């Protein structure tokens, strides 16, 4: 099967299916009741908590089950900030966190708190020194993902946790992408994860709050899950989540080697088979199954449709595949090309022949999309003294970049091309194109409509 979007949601693991079906008959009662059905449900819940805690590397009474990974993040961030409100209201996040973390940061800022976003390098990794520089006397909480969900780059959690620990600041780690591969290193304080990322059922998240961390749950609470996740527990799903986590961990060492070899083939094969491609993300410190690349002069949505017709399910961070028409915040923070972006995330068990067929299909899919986009019409290119002006107003990327590429050779070395565009993605894609093609990006300036991007021909 050509399902290559496991980073969004992994297929249900066979062990999860078996555990879910088996516990439907045993785990339906209220685990808070003392009669035999309730006691039976409580045993299942307690056993699942013990298994999950063992996988995380924490105490069972430090872990609660939530209704999703996003809910775990929202609860963890809000509770940690409230628990340390006497220290201050400063929150630190990386610029490439999952949207659930960034949405929590936005809500905190809207409520009067302050937020610092730590930048990343071109590979998508943070610098622990930058986290240390962001720490302040009023910092209540810092957040860092264990690995990036879009490009697979692993973050230096251990080093950042040490910096935060020395400053007395708790670190919340979003481990959604890595918990199925192994425990998170470092002296972190809070941790969140989501079962459907490792092959468990959807609707189950984990929130771990270490003993000694000041935490005040926000909103209405009840007696369930230590008051941190109100509502009736979905015991069959929780049992399936814990069972599948244990199962994927048992397979992780061998499967990670196999998937890394397959993604290495894609990383090496795509630039060789498809011209004008940028493979993004750290080449070494990355998750086993994720590889991401961006194709110049390609509409991301059209490429995804082409690949879907060929039987491959992939995702994209391109602006033209999102409802907001803005590029992925991850790709923007990295400063890499966003147009024609494709994320391949292989599920455990992905077949070698499917990867080889993907590499056969991709070149003609990209070529078909590029052919459909065509070339700009001559009337859209004019000269203003010694500057060539490309009018791409009202056109979405990659059209502005295509038109720039078509005319850069029409100016002498040292000459300027002025690209007019009102697509937000052009702010990222034009500088990225310049870096890929060895041209000089001069900068941007206001225009009567949209923005003017200046490019100097360097070669």
**How many angstroms separate the Cα of 423 from the Cα of each of 114, 276, 317, 396, 435?**
29, 21, 15, 6, 20
Question: In the block, which residue shows the tokens 């949207």?
Answer: 99
Decide if 442 contacts 456 (C-beta within 8 A): yes
Active-site residue identified among 143, 295, 320, 434: 320
Concerning whether 320 is annotated as a catalytic residue, the answer is yes
Q: Measured at the alpha carbon of residue 428, what is the angle toward residues 424 and 433, in degrees to the nearest 5?
A: 130
CB atoms within 10 A of CB 8: 13
Decide if 7 contacts 345 (C-beta within 8 A): yes
Residue 444 has which token pair? 């941007």
Reported as type and span, the H/E element at residue 242 is: helix 235-273
* Residue 438 CB-density burial (10 A; 0-12 exposed, 13-18 middle, 19+ buried): exposed
Q: Which residues neighbour 25 within 8 Å (Cβ) at sequence distance 6 or greater?
A: none
Cα of first residue to Cα of last residue in the chain, in angstroms, is 45
Q: Measured at the alpha carbon of residue 180, what is the angle toward residues 206 and 259, in degrees to the nearest 5?
A: 155
d(CA 64, CA 55): 14
d(CA 277, CA 147): 23
The residues carrying an active-site annotation are 320
């Amino acid at each position: 099967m050509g399902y290559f979007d496991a980073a969004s949601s992994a297929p249900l693991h066979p062990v999860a299916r078996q555990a879910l079906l088996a516990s439907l008959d045993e785990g339906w009662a209220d685990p808070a009741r003392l009669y035999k059905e309730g006691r039976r449900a409580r045993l299942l819940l307690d056993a699942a908590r013990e298994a999950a805690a063992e996988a995380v590397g924490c105490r069972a009474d430090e872990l609660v089950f939530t209704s999703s990974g996003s809910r775990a993040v929202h609860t963890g961030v809000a509770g940690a900030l409230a628990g340390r409100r006497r220290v201050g209201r400063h929150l630190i996040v990386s610029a490439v966190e999952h949207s659930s973390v960034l949405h929590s940061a936005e809500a905190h800022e809207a409520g009067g708190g302050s937020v610092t976003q730590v930048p990343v390098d071109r590979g998508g990794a943070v610098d622990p020194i930058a986290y240390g520089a962001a720490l302040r006397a009023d910092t209540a909480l810092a957040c860092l993902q264990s690995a990036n969900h879009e490009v697979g780059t692993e973050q230096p959690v251990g080093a950042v946790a040490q910096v935060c620990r020395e400053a007395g600041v708790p670190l919340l780690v979003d481990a959604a992408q890595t918990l199925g591969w192994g425990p998170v290193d470092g002296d972190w304080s809070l941790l969140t994860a989501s079962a459907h990322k490792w092959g468990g059922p959807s609707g189950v998240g984990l929130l771990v709050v270490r003993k000694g961390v000041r935490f005040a749950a926000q909103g209405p609470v009840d007696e369930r899950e230590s008051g941190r996740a109100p509502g009736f527990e979905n015991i069959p799903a929780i049992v399936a989540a814990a069972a599948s986590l244990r199962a994927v961990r048992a397979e992780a060492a061998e499967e990670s080697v196999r998937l890394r070899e397959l993604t290495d083939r894609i990383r090496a094969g795509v630039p060789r088979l498809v011209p004008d491609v940028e493979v993004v993300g750290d080449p070494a410190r990355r998750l086993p199954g994720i590889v991401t690349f961006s194709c110049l002069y390609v509409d991301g949505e059209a490429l995804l449709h082409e690949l879907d017709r060929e039987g491959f399910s992939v995702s994209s961070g391109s602006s033209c595949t999102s409802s907001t028409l803005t590029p992925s915040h991850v790709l923007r923070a990295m400063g890499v090309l966003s147009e024609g972006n494709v994320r391949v995330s292989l599920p455990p068990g992905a077949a070698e022949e499917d990867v080889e067929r993907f590499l056969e299909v991709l070149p003609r899919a990209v070529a078909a999309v590029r052919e459909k986009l065509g070339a700009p019409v001559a009337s859209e290119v004019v000269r203003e003294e010694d500057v060539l002006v490309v009018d791409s107003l009202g056109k979405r990327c990659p059209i502005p970049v295509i038109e720039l590429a078509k005319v850069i050779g029409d100016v002498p070395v040292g000459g300027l091309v002025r690209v007019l565009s009102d697509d937000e993605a052009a702010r990222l894609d034009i500088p990225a194109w310049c870096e890929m093609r060895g041209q000089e990006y001069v900068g941007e300036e206001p225009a009567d409509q949209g923005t003017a991007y200046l490019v100097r021909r360097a070669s």
